[in-house]
Amino acid sequence: MIPLHWRKSSYSHQHGDCVEVADLPLRRAVRDSKNPECGNLSFDAVEWRAFVAAVRDGEL
């Protein structure tokens, strides 16, 4: 298993809703920083761009 190096989103607040992102080979993973034991979601490049666009546009 590849060890993941998680980083907090630059849009996360100190005490608010926070997500962390980790780079994987050919994928990105996202998890809730308050509940990291609950697992993560991973996205390939096309899915990641769609996910980021949806978040940016307020769809999620």
Every domain of the chain and the residues it spans: 23-60
Q: What is the DSSP string of 2-36?
A: PPP--EE-TT--SSS--EEEEEETTEEEEEETT-G
d(CA 17, CA 19) in angstroms, rounded, equals: 7
Question: pLDDT, tens digit, for every residue of 10-54?
Answer: 766 666 668 899 999 899 999 988 888 999 999 999 999 998 899
Q: Are 20 and 36 in contact (CB under 8 A)?
A: yes
Q: What is the pTM of this model?
A: 0.73
**pLDDT at res. 1:** 66
- H or E stretch covering 43: strand 41-43
